[in-house]
A and B are shown apart, each in its own frame.
Chain A
Amino acid sequence: MDDLSFLMHGFSIALEPHNLMFAFIGIVLGVIVGVLPGLGGANGIAILLPLTFAMTPTSAIIMLSCLYWGALFGGAITSILFNIPGEPWSVATTFDGHPMAQQGRAGEALTAAFTSSFVGALVAVIMITLVAPLVANFALKFGPPELFAVQFLAFASFIGMGKEPPFKTMVAMMIGFALAAVGLDTVTGQLRLTFGSTELLKGFDFLIAVIGLFGIGEILLSMEEGLAFRGRAAKINPKIVWQTWKQLPRYWMTSVRSSIIGCWMGITPAGATPASFMSYGIAKRVGKDGSEFGKGKIEGVVAPETAAHAAGTSALLPMLSLGIPGSPTAAVLMGGLLIWGLQPGPLLFVEQKDFVWGLIASMYIGNIAGLIIVLTLVPWFAAILRIPFSIIAPIIIVICAIGAYTVNQAMIDVVMMLVFGVIGYLFKKLNYPLAPLVLALVLGTLAETSFRQSMILSQGDLGIFWSNWLVGSITLLGVLVLLWPLFSALRARVAPAR
């Protein structure tokens, strides 16, 4: 069991006092960005990323990944107390969480949500610990065609599994690829899509896109809703926590099922949001008293929260082992790796053992610490939401502007952030998904490189993606996932005839 000793070594790194401090800062900031409208895991990390350039990569990833766990926890607070999902994956939590809060059971709902989040994350982290090294080891055999096939599979699953119209997902993704192509072509040294502009030479930075699309776009959308926050008080004390914990083991089946759904949806980049909905839906369907769902049933909080957190956590598995992020936040983290000079992918497990295992160990510690922090500090976090929007909105925009500026110390980036904000707003209104755009922007260069290398290998023959059983089966899986909407449309047409 080599991996176990590596994990122990990882714990010794993650438990170093300064790393523990970064973990703590990360979680607290994460809950705050998760609670605030317009800031979330992805752009919270994007804004903070430039400040981590001076840290060691291990400390930086510990802080930023803990910010991610914090944001996952934070989403539940707003959903339950305010009926406002702070993050898209907490929408399903509002269905039963908010009714519970209205019945004066907010403490119970919050305890159930946090504990389930923790359970989901723990299952996913254990899964990552066991599976990631194997996947990485396997992926070491990958050549360019296999790598491109896996990337193709990742993008195909967005199109096939997403809840947005497939062609809109495709458009968003291709815009990401097109933006990634802007600037200097690293292979031929030619300039692409710059139209003589020197500012476009370095291309589009995905961090700017993330801050604009998710930050500014979200603020504009929140403004539209008028934003009168009317929340329920959060009363939570050890007695409530204890009583809720005594109830929770009854829902172990739901937890197990939701963890599995979450892990699966997180690895295939469908993400936490569909996982939480699917898990809620299944819990409702198989539950003995399904009609009670939506009226404040604790199981209705357990199911989506477990799945969302499991999915959010396991999204890091493909990022670490294959270099393919499973969610926008994972994409931003991966962008961080590239900036810190680490090449994400299977070699990470060989060359950067301290980094990988330190990160995995910090996932355990971060989630335990996160659970304690949110359970004890929930009233303070809820108080943040009581700050009126007309104070919080300009501050968030200032923070976004600072985040955009610090990426390259360039004013043009702040302007681009606003442009991306408008795009984000329009896309949200028209139901274009944003996650594929960000992922394509991050992965664009890598995907293009592996595609071009494959083409050079095969002298331009696309058959290389079918040339052996390994690449062939990945490609086939990708094609099947891509065509999935077609299958389900056909089935829906056949079904009423029966």
Chain B
Amino acid sequence: MERERTGGMPSVFATEVIVGLIIVALGAIVMWDSVRVGAGWGPEGPKAGYFPFYIGLILVGASIVNIAAAVVQRAKLTRPITERHQFVLVLRVFIPAALFVAVIPVIGLYVASVFYIGAFMRFLGRYGWPLVAAVAVGVPVVTFITFEIWFLVPLPKGPLEEMLGY
């Protein structure tokens, strides 16, 4: 029922609680690991886990307060965290970006940029091919000149650059 009102998106309340619980878990992990390396007092002074243990403790405590605050204000937090169409827009940026990062090790950053910028402009921006080609090729070329030639900072390269002798 709640789903219908929020268009399938989780409500602010649900997101608050989920994020809060993840943070509690995170704090617990930090505490657990601190105890593992020793959270007490050793011969040389405070052990490695001494400081992080309290960090974890505060993390758990503060997050529980946040969850409690969300529960108290529950009635005010029923709106969806984001509208469905907005979320689609966000995914439209994020998924191509993730793909872009995923293919960098295979084909190199420069070639990946050509495809990424090109696809983004063509399919999301609906630009004509000449402009798409100009920007999608131009930006990586400028980047290449700046980084590899001018600043001598190597970026990930793939088979194409190898073929060209870099």
**Interface residue ranges, A against B (CB under 8 Å):** 50-51, 54, 165, 167-168, 170-171, 174-175, 177-178, 181, 185, 187-188, 190-193, 195, 216, 219-220, 223-226, 388, 390-391, 393-395, 397-398, 401-402, 405-406, 409, 411, 414-415, 418, 421-422, 425-426, 429-430, 448, 451-452, 455-456, 460
Given A178-B52, A406-B155, A451-B51, does the pair A401, B100 have CB atoms closer than 8 Å? yes
A220-B93, A397-B97, A406-B155 given. 11 additional CB < 8 A pairs? Answer: A167-B62, A185-B37, A187-B44, A195-B33, A220-B90, A224-B87, A394-B117, A401-B101, A405-B109, A418-B94, A456-B46
Flag whether B145 is at the interface (Cβ < 8 A): no
The listed residue (A216, A394, A395, A426) touching B19 by CB distance below 8 A is A426
Q: Which residues of B contact A388 (CB under 8 A)?
A: 125
Distance to closest chain A CB from B50 (angstroms): 7
Distance to closest chain B CB from A425 (angstroms): 7
Q: Which residues of A contact B90 (CB under 8 A)?
A: 220, 223-224, 425
Chain B contact residues, majority secondary structure: helix
Closest residue of chain A to B136, judged by CB?
Answer: A394
Given A394-B120, A429-B82, does the pair A460, B62 have CB atoms closer than 8 Å? no
**Could you mark each residue 11-49 of chain B with 1 if its beta carbon is under 8 Å from any beta carbon of chain A, else 0?**
010011001000100110110011001100110111111
Q: List 9 A-B contacts (CB under 8 A).
A: A170-B62, A193-B30, A391-B121, A395-B135, A401-B101, A406-B153, A451-B51, A452-B50, A452-B51
Distance to closest chain A CB from B156 (angstroms): 7
Flag whether B160 is at the interface (Cβ < 8 A): no
Beta-carbon contact of B51 and A223 below 8 Å: no
Beta-carbon contact of B104 and A418 below 8 Å: no
Within 8 A of A (CB), among B62-95: 62-63, 65-66, 69, 81-82, 86-87, 89-90, 92-94
Beta-carbon contact of A398 and B143 below 8 Å: yes
Beta-carbon contact of A178 and B117 below 8 Å: no
Q: Which residues of A contact B127 (CB under 8 A)?
A: 390-391
Docked pose: A384 CA to B109 CA in angstroms = 25
**Interface residue ranges, B against A (CB under 8 Å):** 12, 15-16, 19, 23, 26-27, 29-30, 33-34, 37-38, 41-42, 44-52, 55-56, 58-59, 62-63, 65-66, 69, 81-82, 86-87, 89-90, 92-94, 96-98, 100-101, 104-105, 109, 113, 116-117, 120-121, 124-125, 127, 135, 139-140, 143, 147, 151, 153-156
Given A398-B116, A429-B82, does the pair A174, B46 have CB atoms closer than 8 Å? no
Beta-carbon contact of A192 and B121 below 8 Å: no
Distance to closest chain A CB from B39 (angstroms): 11
Given A220-B90, A224-B86, does the pair A455, B15 have CB atoms closer than 8 Å? no
Docked pose: A174 CA to B59 CA in angstroms = 6
Distance to closest chain A CB from B36 (angstroms): 9
Closest residue of chain B to A227, judged by CB?
Answer: B89
Beta-carbon contact of B69 and A165 below 8 Å: yes
Q: Which residues of A contact B94 (CB under 8 A)?
A: 220, 418, 421-422
Closest residue of chain B to A387, judged by CB?
Answer: B135
Closest residue of chain A to B65, judged by CB?
Answer: A167
Docked pose: A213 CA to B65 CA in angstroms = 24
